[in-house]
Structure 1
């Protein structure tokens, strides 16, 4: 029998070895998790200012790094420059006061040596006294500096420091910093390339828009040229198709009427030797024109100046006062024109007359565009009129006109050819833009927008022709994350391309395959006669996904979980079809993956009545709340939090109740659950002495729900603010708006949620006395990118200041982001989230009792 003491020592050695292996496994797990988080952040953040805080958040989980900064070498000046800095004591001022701060301090020492250095306060003082580096800034109790390498060349230093004596750094924590630094340079390059790509896309888009504007202007100019060319064609016809001079006058009137107001028009001819004006053609509702000696009228002014004239009442009085124009003795008996214009008929031999148009009683006011047009016409028809008046010059005038028409026709043809080429080029650009907007850039498959458009057309067709059945296959790839983790994101992209080609081979030519997002695909099958055809396609897809995907010598087995919805008369919109297909897909995935399931109303129900209620009634789902704290940039203590309710659905998992309500058709059940949630929020606020914000639907403002709501609010000991969505509030009924105003009048806090997501409606802010206004994360991001949205924000802040409304911004809760928004006038932000455990719900008896109460505060 073995000695007990020997056995005890053996067990102690085994226990010591197991502890060592457990510690090593835990360290490896921390390293792997940190690297996965770093890769995800590098793939999702849009700019470097967001990458460094994300890395900082990862490190805080594993080591004391509340004081953390990153220094990179400027490739042009070779100086060490600060890229990110967070410090408990020094803040941001110390590193920026001295240009050589980092090169002379311990950070520069790490950069020069290229080695990881861990110093305590005592060892740092000793190194400083030896002259290894200068002591700059507040002295930390523990300091760790890790060099950052790219292609075996050091490019910067990553530093973490602690001001607490008891918070030192272990070897495992230092190893974590070293591993993070190895991947930091690659992450920085990925984010920089993404920024450069987005910038290039914006520049090309702006250039394309400018090109389109220039093209539109040129098209307008071409249209004007074409219109004038048409006038030239009509005028050229006067010389060849009409022998009678009276017909020529009528055609001239017709041409001028097509370009301007010409109800009152006359043509006058000037005999320079006789000094007379004759009026061979006139159409006027007031004046009868007869030959007269050359005098000082409007017509004589045009002929003597050889220029077109535009005369209104004001200019007429001026010309009379100057003596340029003289009235006849009986002009008081004549109704005078309120607007008049005339253009000279110029030929090679001089001015032979004029064309004039006029309007009475301000019926029309001529402008300089009209004058330009009539001048253009008069210059063209003068030679034609002279040709008909002088038969001797008929042949020469005709030849000159034909020559001019031929030249202009040739020029027009060339212009038309050039314009046609530009139009064709623009069509190609528009087609390319349409294709890019409706197709996935990676797989070139139709995207969500194009798929939903085609699905809506198919649904409308089925509603008109019920015999034309269709089916939708919602496909989710199994183990896609494992491919990204094992082979990298580039391999993941290649896998998606391979999948898209494989799926295309499984369907018919007229069927539609689209990529919705990530690893989600969808197929629209049209012209089906039975469900078996949809099953056949699903089987082919599952079979092809059984093939392993190999790259760089590594093979990964994936699969596909498919949910199928078949055409049904109960479908009235495409959202219902997508919802049911998605539910069927989740059922297939939870049932073992690599399979397909048809949607059925009882698909998620159990075998008993109780299980059916459990799966289909939200009241039976385990619930919990997620708390998001509101942070003030003025360092005031936090007293406000936002609560979001989540339910543990047997198929969908942990999902917020706004999503779960989509799977519940009973409106009464939704209202019951919402009142239960409000009661739970009140209980949390009373127990924890917190001012809470909670998002509600307008259903609780209906008359049959308003009394129970008031009863619940009466039990609140802490202030509770009910948030209502901006989009839903736009479509509220008059009764709902009246009940909302009643809540505000009785002192209940109300708020506006997700404001300015698609438009900024300042009028809505003045309609009620909102206690809080939650800006949408989309609007907050646009404020930082476009100046026009900053102007909208200033308008919001001005109105909310007058209404004493507090504005809270949604977005990533990081210092850089909040600092940028603070410069625009925002002081409140959402911080980190915390999960609150399951809360008891109201019973049906409590709800019934509450429904008997009325509003009484």
Structure 2
């Protein structure tokens, strides 16, 4: 019996151990399963708001946790904040109440202690009575709080509670909660990193989307540009095709249809003499009345009178009618009245010849700003085409005595169309030419002034370090170039310049530099020279090759080259001195008979002794006969303005008749130049008074703005008492490099009420900052810039920038250039309306007054 009892006892002991092991393995399984699920959730959920409900669902399988919440520490405010809350009795508003602060409750107590805490029944209230914490919310029958750690720091508390006395928490369940809390911080970090990664992906996706939108916009803009070019091609083709005028109208209608809504379109022509409107072409779903009518108060008359495109809808139509500007015929039914009307003037160099109109009824189409811009864009080209065909038609119907005038008009239109073709070709190549154009002449492809001056500056600096490596500059001016332009045309002149550039390139060495300064002026930089004879040999080759006649269209014209040479000198400090001396030598060669070369010499003579008396006389400006050239400022229609340009010139014994700017180079000193300039100013004012000129524009030099000379200028202006009738023009290049004293004195002139202006603006580059920094009243564009505006789109963009600034600052812009009506008409389309008229020589000998001494100047 004893053996049997001992065996039973032993079996019971083993059974107890087996039950304990089963419970232990079951607990390990639960822990492992819970952690696996937690790891899966941390790897799959997209944001923290989804992680906490997932953890809650995992716990409910192993722990009584219908009431479960998570509180985490806010690192910025250092307070405990609720991250997740689920409760059987208390709603979410209870823990979020203003008085409900977790730091004061049992949750905050666990956070401070950093240990797992379990309360049953009244144990929580007993602890609260001891002052350990405050009871917040509905008391629970079983409450367990587990701290959440990240490394060694506590970051929050995980809480499970039960309101049922039968649902208590075992040691294994509490252990499960503790294990879950250990991995909770790691799961939170993984989800946060995933959230950050997704946020960055969204941001980058948004950026790529915006970039694609910008690219699409750029592509659309490029498509619009190509469409406009295609339209221009179509219009230009109309100008060259000999079609009947009715066919031209139909072709124009088809072109407008490709641009915008044009089911209803008509073209009207305006006869200025009779004041009537005729309708040679009309396609309209309601109005088929194309009979001429007198000028009235309709939409068409508004376009012609304002010379601007008009976009009229119902709202604007009512405003125009109420103001009395428009009078609508009463017999037209409301259903046949246009709900959207768009008309553009047909503007030519002679003015508005009519208009082209698109209209829509019953709100079938509403014309937009894009339609407005497009029809404005093509209307000028259409006007030129229509005028050409109308001129041809009139030529057939007119009398023989009008044939010559019509032929001249047709020639002008053909030149305009040819220029239009050139512009289109230039715009195609402009992207490829941007970099090249910045450093090369667009016509000949040779280096331009900017590149030449840069290379000359480097050569001068190199020569100053190594004087044995000498150099020379050849300034070349082509003879009789104007004859080629006049007899063969400007296109032949351009071809001549291109051929000259190619010929000159064959006469120099590979390391020498040939450049075109502008017009018919070329310049060559010869380096690595050992004697003057090398420069002379090259000059002889250039003159020899230029003796060949230039022939085109069966006409031959003899040209030549006048060359001025300056050789390297130790006293050269600036490139301006080198160009000045080479230029002076060139002028002497030209005045000495042309087709020759001359080296620069202070006496401008090969034999200094024999020409000493010439040198002496040429260096006394006050002994030279001085005269003026008068040029009125006119508009396109040759209407005279109130301004007159007076320019001084003199008869030099060596150079002959030349401008005062050239003669200033031979002044003995500043005092002599100042004396002559002030005397010229007095003579100009006397001329203005005698001729009763309202405003004279008088070119001056920057010398008058220097400290001492400026006092003399102010005293002279005060004595002349002609403040409101004279504008002092200063060369743009001199003002660009003016000293601070000169700029200050220029501002003083403007503040004292004297008119000032810039002369020869944008000759080599366009300095817009000069227009913004100083207050000028007049701006005279250089003839070189005016010509380039018609040849290259980049210069037109510069001109539009100039016009925008001058409009704001109320500066009058005057263009220089050939006094050709077609030339001015083309500039007028670019926004220029004032021009320098033909020159007239005025015999005004220089009045000899006593020279100003230093005391007079200082006073």
Superposition TM-score, scaled by structure 2 size: 0.46
Superposition TM-score, scaled by structure 1 size: 0.46
Larger Rg: 2
